[in-house]
Amino acid sequence: MYLFKKIGYLSLLVLFAACTVRPLYYQNSLESKNSKSFIQISAIQERLGQELRNMLIERLHFISELNNSILLQVNLAYESTGIGYNQDLSSSVMRITLTAKTTISNKKGFLKTLTTEKSDIVTIPGSIYASIVNEEDIKRKILREIANDIIQRITALQKDIQ
């Protein structure tokens, strides 16, 4: 038993020795020089919009050099429609549709408007909590699809934007 305690303490010591501690707002000087933003994404309304904006910021780091910075403006619309009903006329199946209208512009006068519409079906169980969780999961899935579509379109237009 004593040997197991020593081995446990030794393994914890090795584990914590591998960790580094740095301040909360630490910035590496090399990373801060290379993190010049060539794509500016304006704020998007509502919580879903901010999550979409964060996904785009996180995934658009591969565009490292542009002659002029570009501005993305995204309007996000949410719609849910009941398509299956229980005997008490409550929805049992719902279609969730998110539509993103993206405007890409730069200082040279390039202007392009793209529309992306994605939808999915969510089953609503009897539990209120489970139905909320199902709906939120489907919304996140649709947001990832929209973010991927916007990024693919920006990548395809990258030469036109410059």
Greater confidence, 79 or 23? Answer: 79
Range among 30-39, 58-67, 80-89, 114-123 with highest mean pLDDT value = 114-123
Q: What is the Cα–Cα distance from 94 to 148, expressed in whole angstroms?
A: 24
Predicted confidence at residue 160, as pLDDT, reads: 73
What residues does 102 pair with on adjacent strands? 74, 114
Question: Per residue in 86-110, pLDDT tens?
Answer: 666 666 788 999 999 999 888 777 7
Among 160, 155, 76, 80, smallest CA distance to 116 is for 76
Q: Taking a C-beta distance cutoff of 8 angstroms, is the pair 14, 44 a contact?
A: no
Question: Which runs of consecutive H residues, i.e. helices, occur in the chain?
Answer: 2-17, 29-34, 46-59, 128-156, 158-161
Q: Taking a C-beta distance cutoff of 8 angstroms, is the pair 139, 121 a contact?
A: no
pLDDT grade for 59, boundaries at 50, 70 and 90: confident
Predicted confidence at residue 162, as pLDDT, reads: 65
pTM above 0.85, yes or no: no
Does the pLDDT value for residue 64 go beyond 60? no
Encode burial over 25-44: b for 16+ CB neighbours within 10 A, e otherwise. eeeeeeeeeeeeebbebeeb
